[in-house]
Structure 1
Amino acid sequence: MDVKEINRATITQFRAGGEIEGMHRERLVLLTTTGRSTGKPHTTPMMFHRDGDRLLVIASNVGATTHPDWYQNLASNPEVIVEVGDEKYDAVATPITGAERDHLWTMLKQLYPFFADHETKTDRTIPVVSLTRR
């Protein structure tokens, strides 16, 4: 499975406004970060959870031992671009910490049990990130 090719196809289908093969369009966000080494934009499709005025994204990396590239990018530069539904806007990405993170993480695992599975595969704390419109 070529994840980069799947992501490219998903991004194209998302931006075209139609169905996305094997996914729920209404649950996807395209997150564009700035590469920490290259300074170039990188767009990653991912699931999100709406929490009031913000979107939550989870840096589970399917339980890998390292954070995903998009998370490492936003750790260097939290200014991101969000595409959700028919909207595109500038946002600030903020990792959630402490008791708020713990509360949200528990709720997210209950709603989406595959995150609990991801957690069992790694020793790292899986980040929960808030995307807030600028």
Structure 2
Amino acid sequence: MPHDLVLKAMNSAHRVLRTVSGGHIGNEAMGMPVIELVTVGRKSGQERAVMLTSPLEEDGTIVVVASRGGDDHHPAWFLNLRDKPDVEVAYKGGPRRPMVASVATAEERARMWPVIAGKYRNYAGYQKRTDREIPLVLLKPVG
């Protein structure tokens, strides 16, 4: 798994590419829409933004995978939203919208995971690399 600094650099580069291209490049990756997820740091209390792919959407709910590339530890953004589920999401370069995050229930994950891992094999590979069950996060619009 890449070091945290490498992950942060990749996120920054992605954001710059999207900005410099006027949003024409960087709104999709590996056939999935890219979102910017903004959480509040559980320790710092400061806004934290990360670029993520969304392999599944259902009825206005955006699904993201807390895989961290198959690392044995949850990504920081997941820990942040687990503690403070009020987040903001910019979908495919659009404006930020308030959303509420929740971790998929066992039943939801059992239904969604085969769809996600079947279409995007990288996620199936990530799950094989770790003993932790990789969480799915549901991002639902407020209101």
Q: If the length of structure 1 is used for normalisation, what is the TM-score? A: 0.91
Runs of 4+ in 1 over 2 A off after TM superposition: 12-16, 20-26
Instruction: Work out the CA distance in 2 between the residues paired with 1:76 and 1:116.
Output: 26
Q: Are 1:45 and 2:51 an aligned pair?
A: yes
- Partner SS, residue 9 of structure 2: helix
Please give the root-mean-square deviation of Cα atoms over the aligned residues, in Å: 2.0
CA contact (8 A) 1:29 1:45 kept: yes
Match of 1:110 in 2: 118
Instruction: Work out the CA distance in 2 between the residues paired with 1:22 and 1:76.
Output: 28
CA contact (8 A) 2:103 2:135 kept: yes
Match of 2:100 in 1: 92
Letter in 1 for 2:128: T
CA contact (8 A) 1:14 1:25 kept: no
Instruction: Work out the CA distance in 1 between the residues paired with 2:78 and 2:37.
Output: 10
Instruction: Work out the CA distance in 1 between the residues paired with 2:32 and 2:71.
Output: 26
Q: If the length of structure 2 is used for normalisation, what is the TM-score? A: 0.86
In 2 relative to 1, CA 87–24 (structure 1 residues): closer, same or farther, beyond 3 Å? farther
Match of 1:60 in 2: 67
Question: Percent identity among equivalent residues?
Answer: 27
Paired residues, what number? 134
Match of 1:8 in 2: 12
Instruction: Work out the CA distance in 2 between the residues paired with 1:24 and 1:102.
Output: 23
The unaligned stretches of length 5 or more in structure 1 are none
| Deviation for aligned residue 1:107 | 1.0
